[in-house]
């Protein structure tokens, strides 16, 4: 048999105080004596009382809760972002509801609807499609505070993200400066509807600046974002007659896959194959051959995104013009290049 939820009236009946006094005491109001507050809190704890946050939200029109949607919860970078967002929001008295869209646009829409039904005060989201943002822009037009966790040139939506184009340029340019002219790329889809389009453009910018022709045959896209799939993609990429002498990997996971391919193929890194990754996770720094990578300041990203969202929440009756903030990356050079 399901146990009935304890109410303020139950606590009032046991303590002899009115429900209004009980409510004030549990909120720490100094209008109630310390002795009464201690008694009421003690009884509430004894009865395992849990405040009705939804009811409080209806009264205050604020839940002090933020929704956070990521497209891939297993991605170590996004996991770090989630940790820093939760930590930063906690300092401001906010809790976080998490959801993962798992790369499914329908799941993303369902998560947004579920969060709104739970009356979250705002939304932080790493969207699946970076160029298909109409559903998120609509939230903002309806005065629902929303901040994207990506860099975007789109207007009408707030965003705080990493400058992936500049990071990719720096990674590729580093390889060019090391004397490489045949530089391949390894990473998830580069289409304009998902992530990495900025990375591909940065890669092409660096090639163009060095007078190197872009060759789509050495742009390798694994069937999924796993080391196994990326090693298989490396097999196909490096089987070409004019195989690359260097790889710009669009994530540290694919950089590790390139290193794994080199190990099983008896290819020396960096003498025969140089590798640069993206994100600078702990894994690449501790690899058998430490991998060069673009370091992204996750703490700065989370702090700026939270600050922007809280500013929007405070001004949600008349939202200010949308703005995009970009956090720069920094190339960390290690033994792989």
Q: What is the pLDDT of residues 75-112, one digit of tens each?
A: 778 888 889 999 999 888 888 989 888 878 889 999 99
**Residue with the two structure tokens 């970078």:** 77
Instruction: Please tell me the pTM assigned to this model.
Output: 0.77
Question: pLDDT tens for residues 213-235?
Answer: 999 999 999 988 788 999 999 99
CB 151 within 8 A of CB 164: yes
State yes or no: pLDDT of 183 exceeds 80.
yes
User: What percentage of the chain carries pLDDT values higher than 90?
Assistant: 49
**In the CATH scheme, what is the code of domain 164-296?**
3.40.50.2300
Residues of the chain with CATH 3.40.50.2300: 61-161+298-327, 164-296
Average pLDDT value for residue range 274-300? 93
**Residue with the two structure tokens 């709104």:** 116
3-state secondary structure (DSSP) of residue 288:
coil
Average pLDDT value for residue range 278-295? 93
- Report pLDDT for 172: 98
Higher pLDDT, 148 or 93: 148
For 54, counting Cβ atoms within 10 Å of its Cβ (0-12 exposed, 13-18 middle, 19+ buried), the class is exposed
- Report pLDDT for 39: 92
Counts for the chain of helices (H) and strands (E), in that order? 13, 12
- Report pLDDT for 58: 45
Question: pLDDT tens for residues 56-79?
Answer: 544 445 578 899 998 877 777 888
Does CATH number 3.40.190.170 belong to domain 61-161+298-327? no
């Amino acid at each position: 048999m399901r146990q009935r939820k304890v109410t303020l009236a139950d606590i009032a009946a046991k303590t002899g105080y009115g429900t209004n006094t009980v409510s004030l005491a549990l909120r720490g109001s100094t209008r109630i004596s310390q002795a009464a507050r201690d008694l009421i809190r003690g009884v509430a704890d004894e009865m395992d009382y849990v405040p009705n946050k939804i009811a409080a939200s209806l009264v205050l029109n604020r839940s002090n809760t933020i929704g956070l949607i990521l497209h891939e919860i297993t991605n170590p970078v996004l996991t770090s972002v989630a940790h820093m967002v939760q930590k930063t929001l906690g300092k401001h008295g906010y809790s976080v509801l998490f959801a993962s869209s798992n790369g499914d646009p329908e799941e993303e829409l369902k998560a947004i609807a579920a969060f709104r039904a739970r009356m979250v005060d705002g939304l932080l989201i790493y969207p699946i499609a970076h160029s298909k943002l109409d559903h998120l822009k609509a939230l903002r037009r309806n005065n629902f505070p929303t901040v994207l966790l990506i860099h975007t040139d789109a207007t009408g939506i707030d965003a705080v993200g990493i400058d992936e184009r500049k990071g990719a340029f720096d990674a590729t340019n580093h390889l060019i400066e090391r004397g490489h002219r045949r530089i391949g790329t390894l990473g998830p889809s580069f289409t304009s509807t998902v992530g990495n389009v900025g990375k591909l453009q940065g890669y092409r910018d660096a090639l163009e600046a060095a007078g190197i022709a872009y060759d789509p045959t050495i742009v390798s896209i694994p069937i999924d974002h796993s080391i196994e799939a990326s090693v298989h993609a490396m097999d196909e990429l490096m089987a070409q007659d004019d195989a690359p002498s260097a790889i710009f990997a669009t994530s540290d996971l694919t950089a590790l896959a390139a290193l794994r391919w080199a190990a099983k193929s008896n290819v020396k890194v960096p003498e025969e194959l140089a590798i640069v990754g993206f994100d600078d996770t702990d894994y690449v720094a501790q690899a058998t051959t430490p991998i060069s990578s673009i370091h992204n300041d996750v703490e700065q990203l989370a702090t700026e995104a939270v600050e922007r969202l809280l500013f929007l929440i405070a001004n949600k009756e008349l939202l200010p013009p949308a703005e995009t903030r970009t956090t720069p990356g920094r190339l960390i050079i290690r033994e792989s290049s």
